[in-house]
Structure formats: structure tokens, C-alpha cells
A and B are shown apart, each in its own frame.
Chain A
């Protein structure tokens, strides 16, 4: 049965696959407020065009009784300025571009409504089915409790009506909460059929990560080359089966108290795209979280992506967990160097939830902690022409400055105040090492090159000697 979705069965797997290459550079235009549209109205998929959508309330599909009956998917491609179906299918996320998903989306693209048509009221065009088939013929009340939107437009419409719906993309955050009874869903919104949210796309000087990009897909080579830190961080998060499901959006919503990607994205100067029925707003990752690390989302909003600027310099991500293998972070630290702007940015986070080994201190620094003054000081110490640091004491000092800057709240959470000596020490060491890798001491690279040359010479010499010995033996 051909479904309009399909979870990218193209076998790219996201593990070093090259499927990302199929994304054309042009497919990056973001939705903008149309010039003639009223204030606050955001046009998805082209000016004046409103998609004709039908909310995919699963239990209303009485003809086949399965999910996916609502094949009349809107093709308001949220990421495309053009909004034409062809461009959308081609510029869609890399996962969908090769699989059955794009084919189905392309077929269903024709279901548009006339321009300037009124936004259909989700509750009006489908009367609530009062009774559905139940177990042993008993009548079952079937209110709208399950939504599987196929586009961002549909998703935000659902969220506007049901702001309490539990949003499930990868399920790695929401499902444990539901299973353990901490959350009781009155309605569930699954995003796995939303092809627009999958994958990533490139634009001039930046990468647009869609919210449904899984951590496994972050390890694709194409993306790795542009934003290496993303791969470094994604590899440290969770088990392979978690990485195959967990998405960027979920990681951003969990927040920097325990998640690692906000740390990476904040250091890179990325911004989060948040969609709601009113449109899409962009907020920088640093401003996305309040001082308690809670993402600033109002009910009815959906994180749909993140724009990450592509920079040339070294990016270093480090993480310390409670053990060598998979574990929650005790801390994660990210240093991004931008030689073009002659700046370095260091951000520390993920320091709240994981319990420390006993006796090493307390946690409770739930927010992103920037080391702005350390960054500014560092920028003056670097020989940007050589991409190196002349004074070897800079490394130690930088580590100390970063650790000093980690103040939270009224100062009671200061790492340097004796509250958490373990983390303070760890931050110092990590910052020092990250800097050492990103910006080596002046002349150090020359020394390495010299040593390599000498080693090459030795190897060549040994080869010649062995050849001579062999000749002598033959004789």
C-alpha cells in the first residue's frame, strides 16, 4: 500500500550516507511574511496560496480504519518559497528525496484550494464522529485524540486547537514520560508523517536543520563537513537505537539542562525556528532558553528547525558523562572558532540533571552558560594570521576564565564558589584542551610538520636498506 509518507525507506540510514547531496542549494528559501498579507499572517508555500488540508484524525477514517486515510495532504511546502510541488519534492529533506515519501507527496500535491480562500476550520469540515467501532461491538467515544499531520501547516493548526496535545516525533523524550505515568496524553500529535520536517538543507553560508533531523542523520558526511561539531555531539548522545529516533527538535525542547545540542548550536550562533498558527519566528538559541533552561515556547508552538551558520574554523565539542559509555552529561562544552570574524565562542551546558558521583559536589546549573569575557579576552591573544597562539600560558588562563564565568542565579550556583569543585575542574581542563586543539601554539604545527618529515625520511631510509639487504642475500 503506497503511503504518502514512509519513513524514508531509502536505506541511506544516515550513517555516512551521501543522500544529503540530493538537496539542491536553492531549496532553502524560508517562509517570509508576504508583502500584502495582513500583519501576523504567514504564507506557507507561496504567496496567497492556502493549502487544502484535512486533519488526519485517524479514527475518522472509517473506510479503511487505518492511519493514513487522509491522503489529501496539503503540499504547502513550508521550506520552499516557491511552493510548487515539483520544487518541493526535489528540495525536500534528504531522507524523503529518494524514497517513496517524495513520490507520494508529489502526487498529492495537487490538492490545493483557491488562492485567498479562507483557512478551513479544522473542526468544521469534519464533524466529530461520536461513535466508532470498538472491541466486541461496544460503542467507543472517539473524540479527536490522535493527529498525524503531513505538513507543518497542519501541525500548527492542530496545535492551535489542541495546545495540550503531546507532540511525538522520535518518541525518546515523550514516550518514557507517558510510560512512566508522568504525563497522561489527552491527545497525541505524531510528526513521523511530516516529510517537511525531515532532513536538512543548505543555503548561502548556512545550513537549515529541520526539526525532524535525527541524531543518526547528523552523522551524514555532507552535513559533517559543514558543521563538524554536530556530528561530534550527536555521536555522544544515546545508543544507536535512540539516535536513530531522536530528533533535533526534541533535543532543543528538552533544553540545555541535560541536552547537548543546544550547547553546540549556541556556540555556533544558530537560531531556532518556531512555528505557530501565526507564523514562524526566529530566535537565537542563546535567547531561546530562560535562566532556568526552559525553552520559551507558548502553547501551540512547534519547533520546526534551526539555522546554523557555516564557519570555517575549528569546532570542538566535549562531554563528560558519569561513565565512559553512553550516559547523561555531567557537562558538555563547545568551543567554536571563527577566523573570518576573529572570534571564538565557548559555551558550557548540560550540567543540571545527571547525578554526580557522590562527594564531588552538586549539580543544578540548568541553563546555557556562556563565557563571553573569556571569549573576548581570547580573541585578543590569538595570532589570527597564523591561526595559532603565541603565548603558551593562554591555554591555562582561558580554562580558568571559562570556569570563573560559570555563575548561575544569585551566585550561589557559582562553580567557583566551592559549590561544585568537580565541574569547575572539569570545565577548566576541557576548555584548555578544546582550545589547544582548535588553536595550537605558534610554531607547533611547524614542529609537527618537521617531525613528520623526519619520520618519512627514516621510513624511506629503512626501505632502501631492506631492499639492499634482500639484494645481498640473493647474491
Chain B
């Protein structure tokens, strides 16, 4: 931190994504988890929308909690359990989203599956108002929220994988 040139301090770290360990050398300390997932690991299900946490299309879960991957420093995700929309835990919601046409263009479909799964893990039977509030962070411009509510209902019927077990796996 002494020379005039701009420094890009980098570290090596190991990310645990969807249960797999990915060693990633040379990650800039300012890189977001989203950038590392997409650019370094080629896991492109979290979409790169706005990059600053506004659009919600990069949702993942971090130790079982909803998180926008663009707001998480990659270095802070290194010792935690990252689940991208590709993970099997989101299978039920993914099919529900597809079946109800909740994401016509498909850009935010992965994020929608994560958000729906997270909602159903928190609330067993969310009403329409709760669904709207929970999905308010997804800035989608092509689906009306009726389809989202339908998708949540379908996902609920299909059954969401038990959430309580997942963080326990992460800790062990």
C-alpha cells in the first residue's frame, strides 16, 4: 500500500457452493461473490442484473439465508455454505416457476426460485400479501404478481426440502 500504482490485493480462497468445494486462487478482496461465481466458476444461474443489490436477480442463500450475491464480498463467503439456484434444494420451486409461467423471459427465474423457497421455509402457508412482500425485491417487468402467487402455491404443494437440516449440514 505504498507505491503510486493502484493495488489489487488478492487472496486465495475456497468456496463451498452447492456442496462442492471450489478452490479459487487470486480473488481480489473487493470482488463480489456474484463476480466470482459467474466469472471464475462459470456458475451463471445467479444473474448479473444491476450489481448493486437493487434488482434481486442474483439471489443465493448463504448459510441458509437469503442473500444477494452481488452484495456479499467473495472473501466473506469463503467459509460459508453457498447455494445457487442450481442446487437441488430449489428443485420444487424451479418446477413450480416453470409450470406457472411466473418468469416469462426467464431472466429472473433462478432468483425467483430462491426467493420462493426462502419464503416457504419461513412461512408454511403464506397469504397473497406475504408473497407480494417477500418477492418485492425482485424487480421483474414481465410477469404479473398473480403468476408468482400461483407459483408459490404450486411450490408449496410440491413441498420444499426441509430447511432446518440444511444449515446443520453446513456446520458439520
Q: Point out residues on A near B: beta carbons under 8 Å.
A: 2-3, 5-11, 13, 15, 58-59, 65-68, 99-100, 132-135, 140, 142-143, 145-146, 148, 166, 168, 170-172, 175-176, 178-180, 184-188, 190, 192-193, 238-242, 244-245, 325-326
Q: B11 at the A/B interface (Cβ < 8 Å)?
A: yes
Q: B136's contact among A7, A9, A190, A326, by CB below 8 Å, is which?
A: A326
- A170 surroundings in chain B (CB, below 8 A): 71
Q: B62 at the A/B interface (Cβ < 8 Å)?
A: yes
- B163 surroundings in chain A (CB, below 8 A): 11
Q: Point out residues on B near A: beta carbons under 8 Å.
A: 1, 6-7, 9-14, 23, 25-26, 29-30, 32, 51-53, 56, 59, 62-68, 70-73, 75-76, 78-81, 115, 118, 121-123, 133-134, 136-138, 163-164, 167-168, 170-172
Report Cα–Cα, A140/B28, bound state, in Å: 12
- B25 surroundings in chain A (CB, below 8 A): 133-135
Ranked nearest first, the 10 interchain pairs of A and B with the lowest CB-CB distance are A239-B137, A9-B167, A145-B9, A176-B52, A100-B171, A67-B78, A7-B63, A178-B30, A171-B71, A190-B76
- B7 surroundings in chain A (CB, below 8 A): 186
Excluding A133-B25, A185-B9, 14 further A-B contacts by CB distance (< 8 Å) are: A3-B79, A9-B64, A11-B167, A58-B78, A68-B79, A166-B30, A171-B76, A176-B53, A178-B32, A179-B32, A190-B73, A238-B137, A240-B136, A245-B71
A140 to B: closest C-beta gap in Å: 7
Residue of B nearest to A10 (CB): B167
B75, A190: Cβ atoms closer than 8 Å: yes
A59, B12: Cβ atoms closer than 8 Å: yes
B6, A9: Cβ atoms closer than 8 Å: no
B63, A8: Cβ atoms closer than 8 Å: yes
B130 to A: closest C-beta gap in Å: 10
19 A–B contacts from the bound complex (CB under 8 Å) = A3-B79, A13-B65, A15-B122, A58-B11, A99-B167, A133-B25, A143-B9, A170-B71, A175-B70, A179-B70, A180-B52, A184-B6, A188-B75, A190-B73, A238-B137, A239-B136, A241-B53, A244-B66, A245-B71
A175, B53: Cβ atoms closer than 8 Å: yes
- B167 surroundings in chain A (CB, below 8 A): 9-11, 99
Q: B29's contact among A9, A66, A185, A241, by CB below 8 Å, is which?
A: A185
B67 to A: closest C-beta gap in Å: 6
Grouping DSSP codes into helix (H, G, I), strand (E, B) and loop, the B interface class, with mixed when no group exceeds half, is mixed
- A168 surroundings in chain B (CB, below 8 A): 73, 76
Residue of A nearest to B11 (CB): A59
A6, B71: Cβ atoms closer than 8 Å: no
A134, B66: Cβ atoms closer than 8 Å: no
Report Cα–Cα, A284/B64, bound state, in Å: 36
- A172 surroundings in chain B (CB, below 8 A): 53, 71
B171, A6: Cβ atoms closer than 8 Å: yes
Given contacts A13-B122, A99-B171, contact A145 B29 (CB under 8 A): yes
- A142 surroundings in chain B (CB, below 8 A): 9, 11
Given contacts A134-B25, A140-B10, A240-B136, contact A171 B65 (CB under 8 A): no
Residue of A nearest to B60 (CB): A241
A5, B12: Cβ atoms closer than 8 Å: no
Q: A175's contact among B23, B72, B164, by CB below 8 Å, is which?
A: B72
A7, B80: Cβ atoms closer than 8 Å: yes
Residue of B nearest to A65 (CB): B12
Report Cα–Cα, A443/B55, bound state, in Å: 48
- B71 surroundings in chain A (CB, below 8 A): 170-172, 175-176, 241-242, 245
- B70 surroundings in chain A (CB, below 8 A): 175-176, 179
A188, B171: Cβ atoms closer than 8 Å: no
A166 to B: closest C-beta gap in Å: 8
Residue of A nearest to B72 (CB): A171
A419 to B: closest C-beta gap in Å: 29
- B134 surroundings in chain A (CB, below 8 A): 240
Given contacts A145-B11, A178-B30, contact A186 B75 (CB under 8 A): no
- B81 surroundings in chain A (CB, below 8 A): 9
- B78 surroundings in chain A (CB, below 8 A): 58, 66-68
B9, A7: Cβ atoms closer than 8 Å: no
Given contacts A7-B80, A15-B122, A325-B136, contact A175 B171 (CB under 8 A): no
B63, A6: Cβ atoms closer than 8 Å: yes
Residue of B nearest to A235 (CB): B133
A186, B1: Cβ atoms closer than 8 Å: yes
A131 to B: closest C-beta gap in Å: 13
Report Cα–Cα, A99/B133, bound state, in Å: 28
- A187 surroundings in chain B (CB, below 8 A): 1, 9, 29
B59, A241: Cβ atoms closer than 8 Å: yes
- A179 surroundings in chain B (CB, below 8 A): 30, 32, 51-52, 70
Report Cα–Cα, A170/B70, bound state, in Å: 11
